[in-house]
Amino acid sequence: MLLPEVIMTQTPKEFQALFILAFLGFWNKNSVHGANKYYVYSPVCKMPSVNPFTWDTMNNFHRKKLRQCNNDSDLVTSEFDFETHHYRLHVHEHLAKPFLNRKGNATLECEYRQISRDNSSMKPDNTYNQLRRCPIKHHQFVPNHTDYMITSCYVKDVSRHQELLQRDAISFIEDRLPKEKVRDFVKEESEVHKPSVLIMGLDSTSRINLRRAMPTVYKFVKQPGWFEMQGYNKVGDNTFPNLLAALTGDSEKGVRDYCDVRKPGCLDSLNFIWKRFKKANYTTAFAEDCSSISTFNYLKPGFVKQPTDYYLRPLLYAIEEQFKVTKDFGSAYCVGRHLSFSYVWDFGQQFIDRFLGRSPMFGILWSNSFTHDYFEGATALDNLFWKYLKSFEESGLFRKSIVILMSDHGHRYNTLRQAATGYFEERMPMMFIYLPSWFRRKYPHLASNLGRNQNRLSSNYDFYMTLQHLLHLDSTSVDDFPDSLKARQCKSCHSLFFELPFNRTCQMAGIDEKWCCCQPTETITNSPYARIIAEAIVQQMNEHLVSQNLAHLCHNFTFKNVEKADRKTILSNGLRPVDRNEHVYIIMFKTVPKNPIFEATVHWNNRTQRLRHIDVEDLSRLTSYKNDANCIRRKNAKKYCICKDSLSWPSTY
CATH number of domain containing 642? 3.10.450.10
Q: Under 8 Å CB-to-CB from 98, ≥6 apart: which residues? A: none
Could you tell me which residues come within 8 angstroms of residue 252 by beta carbon, excluding any fewer than 6 positions away? 236, 240, 241, 244, 261
Q: Which residue has the higher pLDDT, 162 or 469?
A: 469
pLDDT value at 93 more than 50: yes
pLDDT in tens, 579-614: 678 889 999 999 999 999 999 999 998 888 899 889
Average pLDDT, integer, range 239-261: 96
- The pLDDT assigned to 317 comes to 97
Which residues are paired to 566 by β-bridges? 523, 586
Q: Among residues 515, 548, 576, which one ends one of the domains?
A: 515
Q: Are residues 532 and 499 in the same domain?
A: no
Residue 85 shares a structural domain with residue 224 = no
d(CA 364, CA 231): 23
Q: Residue 495 and residue 195: Cα distance in Å, rounded?
A: 16
Residues 6+ apart with CB under 8 A from 423: 517, 586, 599
Is pLDDT of 281 > 50?
A: yes
Count of domains forming the chain: 4
Angle (CA) 208 209 212, round 5°: 100
Q: Tell me, yes or no, whether 353 and 253 share the same domain.
A: yes
Same domain, 336 and 427: yes
Q: What pLDDT, on the 0 to 100 scale, is given for residue 573?
A: 52
**How confident is the model over 128-142, as a mean pLDDT?**
94
- Residue 605 in any domain: the answer is yes
The verdict on residue 182 lying in a domain is no
**Residue 580 confidence (pLDDT):** 74
Residues 131 and 264 in one domain: no
- Judgement on whether residues 414 and 458 belong to the same structural domain of the protein: yes
Sorting pLDDT into bands at 50, 70 and 90, what band is 192? low
Neighbouring-strand partners of residue 585: 567, 602
Same domain, 397 and 504: yes
The answer to whether the CB of 228 falls within 8 A of the CB of 207 is yes
- Does residue 146 have a pLDDT over 70? yes
pLDDT tens readout for residues 16-52: 443 333 433 443 444 444 446 999 999 999 999 999 9
CB 208 within 8 A of CB 410: yes
Q: How confident is the model at residue 190 (pLDDT cuts 50, 70, 90)?
A: low
DSSP letter at 144? T
pLDDT band for position 138 (50/70/90)? Answer: confident
In terms of domains, do 545 and 510 share one?
A: no
What's the pLDDT score for residue 31? 43
Q: Looking at residue 83, what is its pLDDT? A: 85
Q: What is the pLDDT of residue 18?
A: 39
549 found inside a domain: yes
Q: Are residues 494 and 534 in the same domain?
A: no
d(CA 482, CA 7): 68
Asked which of 466, 481, 515 is the last residue of a domain, the reply is 515
The answer as to whether 500 is a domain residue is yes
* Same domain (yes/no): 51, 163: no
> Does residue 181 sit within a domain?
no
The tens digit of pLDDT for each residue in 314-363 reads: 999 999 999 999 999 989 999 999 999 999 999 999 999 999 999 999 99
State the pLDDT at residue 30.
Answer: 43
Q: Is 91 within a domain?
A: yes
CATH assignment at residue 350: 3.40.720.10
Report yes or no: 64 and 379 within 8 Å, Cβ to Cβ. Answer: yes
Long-range CB contact pairs, 379-383, < 8 A, 24+: 379/62, 379/63, 379/64, 379/213, 379/214, 380/63, 380/64, 380/65, 380/66, 380/67, 380/329, 381/66, 381/202, 381/214, 381/341, 382/213, 382/214, 382/215, 382/216, 382/217, 383/66, 383/216
Residues 340 and 206 in one domain: yes
Domain boundary at 141, 171, 201, which? 171
**Which of 227, 191, 228, 185 has its CA nearest to residue 206?**
228
Would you state the pLDDT for residue 575? 55
Q: What is the mean pLDDT of the chain?
A: 90
Q: Is residue 183 part of a domain?
A: no
> What integer is the mean pLDDT of 211-237?
97
User: pLDDT tens digits, residue range 486-507?
Assistant: 999 999 999 999 999 999 999 9
In a domain? residue 652: no
pLDDT score for 191 = 62
Structural domain of 235: 188-515
pTM for the model stands at 0.91
Q: What is the mean pLDDT of residues 393-398?
A: 97
Task: Please indicate, yes or no, whether residues 366 and 446 belong to a single structural domain of this protein.
Answer: yes
